[in-house]
């Protein structure tokens, strides 16, 4: 972003709006799409999530207090973000010892599928690996879970995206049960 005279130009603001639109829409819809698929193929977790939603909201519209107590749903969303990170690459530009301006790509997809960190069931949907938080799930290596990136450039929409996903998923679970087609092959 070019800041002249301590002012952000109209073009910069338009760029930021486009960024929010792009960075904010496809990512959360990818998270919801994969989560619905994972719950369709793991019915016991679909039922656990529905029970938690029913206990928190009944048939009412989800509210802020209830959303923060959705522990099972948080575990499910984290496991979905681990298996199918909506942003598979993060990039950084080298400024120091490596050749300047070189772009480094870090792959959440690769790190989150590393059996040395996540164990032999790395490819299996196991939300309970997140039951005691990310530090425990990563064997004391929290940078191994980076669906929203890491450090000063961490995703600006992290909290917004998780709240949006929890509201949407709660309202879907309140209304629908879902399954894959009998002919579906993964």
Kindly list the residues in this chain that would bind ligand HEM in the complex (CB under 6 A).
19-20, 23-24, 27-28, 31, 86-87, 90, 147-150, 153-157, 160-161
Angstrom distance (rounded) from CA 45 to CA 40: 9
Q: Which CB atom, from 21 or from 184, has the smaller least distance to ligand HEM? A: 21
Nearest to 165 by CA among 83, 87, 76: 76
Angstrom distance (rounded) from CA 36 to CA 40: 6
Q: In angstroms, what is the minimal distance from the CB of 58 to ligand HEM?
A: 27
**Sign (positive/negative) of CA torsion 116, 87, 72, 38?**
negative
Q: Which CB atom, from 33 or from 43, has the smaller least distance to ligand HEM? A: 33
Q: In angstroms, what is the minimal distance from the CB of 17 to ligand HEM?
A: 10
Q: In the chain, count of helices (H) and strands (E)?
A: 8, 4
Q: Which CB atom, from 159 or from 179, has the smaller least distance to ligand HEM? A: 159
Say if residue 155 carries a ligand binding annotation.
yes
Q: Which residues are annotated as a binding site for heme?
A: 155
Q: Which residues are annotated as a binding site?
A: 155
């Amino acid at each position: 972003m070019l800041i002249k005279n301590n002012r952000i130009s109209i073009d910069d603001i338009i760029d930021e709006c486009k960024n929010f639109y792009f960075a904010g829409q496809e990512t959360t819809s990818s998270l919801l799409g994969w989560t619905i698929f994972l719950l369709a193929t793991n019915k016991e977790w679909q039922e656990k999530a529905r029970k938690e939603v029913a206990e928190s909201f009944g048939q009412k519209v989800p509210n802020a207090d209830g959303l923060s107590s959705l522990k099972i749903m948080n575990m499910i969303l984290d496991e979905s973000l681990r298996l199918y990170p909506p942003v598979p690459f993060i990039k950084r530009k080298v400024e120091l010892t490596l050749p300047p301006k070189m772009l480094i790509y870090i792959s959440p997809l690769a790190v989150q599928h590393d059996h040395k960190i996540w164990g032999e069931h790395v490819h299996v949907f196991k939300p309970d690996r997140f039951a005691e938080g990310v530090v425990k799930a990563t064997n004391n290596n929290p940078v191994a879970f980076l669906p929203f990136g890491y450090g000063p450039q961490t995703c600006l929409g992290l909290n917004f995206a998780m709240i949006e996903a929890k509201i949407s998923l709660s309202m879907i679970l309140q209304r629908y049960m879902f399954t894959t087609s009998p002919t579906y092959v993964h």
